[in-house]
């Protein structure tokens, strides 16, 4: 990662934004934001960083505005639109990806924070034409309706099953110190509570995950 435009007070982008705002002011007579806010915007230098991200085992080097979230890079710069934006505030789980095997919300982290990390999205779960067992299970058990939350559900489930395999407890675990915590439906529901489904496909999502977990244990 390297920092550029460090000392630039007025960048091309800020200038463009500034002139776009004044053009709007001229045509409509109504500023979108207050003029003070627009002036403030101009005084903010835009900082960019060159970042190399390793996504689905493929390196991409990008010049990014430091504000860019991991979610926006994946969707907008890299075209990985399987990753969804539901709320952009950590509340829905649609943007769940795996970072070094752990599930996180891509909307609440900056891309520039992930140099040297191994990032996996829904696009990277299958091996060639062979679907990931969770993908097959979601199809077999009809674990979706509109499908919007599904990539996040599947990535989250992949991370969750790994957490369970490592013996992590959950809020639904009765004995925190148990050596073996059975992955009951109650456990699955609790562990997946960070993924909302507007279509309420929950019963089949739980079935699909339980089936994939069962298969993995065989």
Partner 1 sequence: MKSFLYERATTTQQAVDALAKRLDAKLIAGGTNLLDLMKLEIEQPRHLIDVNSLPLSSIEPLPGGALRIGALVRNSDLAADSRIRREYPLLSQALLAGASGQIRNQATTAGNLLQRTRCYYFYDPRMPCNKRVPGSGCAALNGFNRIHAVLGASDHCIATHPSDMAVAMTALDARVETLSAAGARSFPIDQLYRPPGSTPHVETSLAQGEMITSVTLPPPPPGRQMYRKVRDRASFAFALVAVATIIDADSVAVRNARIAFGGVAPKPWRGIVAEQALLSARPSRDALEQIAEIALADARSQKHNAFKVPLAKRTLMHAIAESTRDG
Ligand X SMILES: Cc1cc2nc3c(=O)[nH]c(=O)nc-3n(C[C@H](O)[C@H](O)[C@H](O)COP(=O)(O)OP(=O)(O)OC[C@H]3O[C@@H](n4cnc5c(N)ncnc54)[C@H](O)[C@@H]3O)c2cc1C
Q: Which residue among 22, 90, 147, 184 contacts ligand X (CB under 6 A)?
A: 90
SS3 label, residue 200:
coil
Q: 56: which 2 tokens?
A: 């689905």
Backbone angles phi, psi at 86, to 5 degrees: -100, -60
Nearer to ligand FES, 48 or 96 (CB): 96
Q: Does 91 bind ligand X (CB under 6 A)?
A: yes
Nearer to ligand FES, 4 or 193 (CB): 193
Residues lying near ligand FES in the complex (CB under 6 A) are found at: 85-88, 90-95, 105, 107, 144-150, 197-199, 201
Residue at token pair 């674990």: 143
Q: Does 101 bind ligand X (CB under 6 A)?
A: no
CB of 92 vs ligand FES, minimal distance in Å? 3
**Whether the Cβ atoms of residue 155 and residue 125 lie closer than 8 Å to each other:** yes
Contacts of residue 3, defined as CB under 8 A and 6 or more positions apart, other chains included, come to 47, 48, 49
Nearer to ligand X, 130 or 171 (CB): 171
Nearer to partner 1, 3 or 142 (CB): 3
Q: Does 193 bind ligand X (CB under 6 A)?
A: no
CA dist 183 and 20 (Å) reads 55
Query: Which one of partner 1, ligand X, ligand FES, none is in contact with 47 (Cβ closer than 5 to 8 A by kind)?
Result: partner 1
**Whether the Cβ atoms of residue 89 and residue 96 lie closer than 8 Å to each other:** no
């Amino acid at each position: 990662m390297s920092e550029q435009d460090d000392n630039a007070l007025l960048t091309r982008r800020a200038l463009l934004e500034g002139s776009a705002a004044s053009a709007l002011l001229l045509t409509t007579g109504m500023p979108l934001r207050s003029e003070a806010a627009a002036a403030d915007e101009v005084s903010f230098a835009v900082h960019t960083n060159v970042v190399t991200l390793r996504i689905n085992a493929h390196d991409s080097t990008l010049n990014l505005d430091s504000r860019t979230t991991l979610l926006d890079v994946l969707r907008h710069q890299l075209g990985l639109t399987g990753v969804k934006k539901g709320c952009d505030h950590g509340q829905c789980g649609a943007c769940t990806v795996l970072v070094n095997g752990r599930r996180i919300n891509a909307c609440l982290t900056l891309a520039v924070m992930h140099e040297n990390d191994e990032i996996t999205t829904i696009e990277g779960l299958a091996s060639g034409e062979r679907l990931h067992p969770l993908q097959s299970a979601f199809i077999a058990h009809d674990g979706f309706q509109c499908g919007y939350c599904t990539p996040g559900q599947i990535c989250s489930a992949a991370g969750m099953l790994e957490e369970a395999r490592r013996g992590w407890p959950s809020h639904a675990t009765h004995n925190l110190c148990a050596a073996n915590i059975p992955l009951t439906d109650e456990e699955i529901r609790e562990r997946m509570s960070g993924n909302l489904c507007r279509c309420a496909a929950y019963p089949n999502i739980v079935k699909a995950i339980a089936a994939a977990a069962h298969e993995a244990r065989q």
